[in-house]
Amino acid sequence: MASKLFVSYSHADTKFAKLIVDLLRVNAELEYVFYDKDTLKPGQKWAKEITKALNEVQKVLVIWCEHALASSYVKREYMLASKQDKELIPVLLDDTPLPKRLSLFQGIDCREAVKGSHELLNADLRRLPESRLKRPNFYTDSHNGKGGREFPEENWWDLRQEEIRNKNHNIFTENAKNVAKLLNQELQKRLNQTT
């Protein structure tokens, strides 16, 4: 029996959630994955549609981290799902403690797979440690510092930010794939147990 899934997440983790949703949607056992960013249509009353979606699904995946803890929307969604006796599946991305209501449900620990990368993508590069932002005399786009294009000193900051963003994005994407793989395996086990 195919299952319907609602994904609850903080909008601070939108990029991470989107990758997870895209990878979950290839799971043949999932009939439907509700993700607000592409499920809600312009002109719809979003609060009403989210409540309707929560009424229709069997499982609610809660992407849990410090951002989710700070989100009143995530709290509203998991509280409503809990009151409706839905199966809640907390997905742990960091060491943020689960609230009492969520801690009653067995979660999926993805902290090792993520290794903090969901925070990297949203990181404010101005807050990076000084050691990661050493100002060069010149900046080159080659990996070994020899050859490649040289850029004037005043462009180093923009180029260094772009370099760090690209590296963080690659780590982030790989870790999101690892999380989606873990989630698919766990959901497959749970779906097999209910049939």
Chain segment 63-93, per-residue pLDDT in tens: 999 899 999 999 999 999 999 999 999 999 8
What residue spans in the chain does CATH classification 3.40.50.1220 cover? 3-115+178-194
What is the C-alpha to C-alpha distance for residues 129 and 135, in angstroms, rounded to an integer?
Answer: 12
What average pLDDT does this structure show over 22-30?
75
Sequence-ordered alpha helix ranges (H) in 25-107: 36-39, 46-56, 66-69, 72-83, 100-103
CATH number belonging to domain 3-115+178-194: 3.40.50.1220
Q: What is the pTM of this model?
A: 0.66
Closest alpha carbon to 23 in 131, 137, 185: 185
173 vs 19, 39, 118, 179, CA distance in Å? 8, 22, 9, 10
Is pLDDT of 126 > 70?
Answer: no
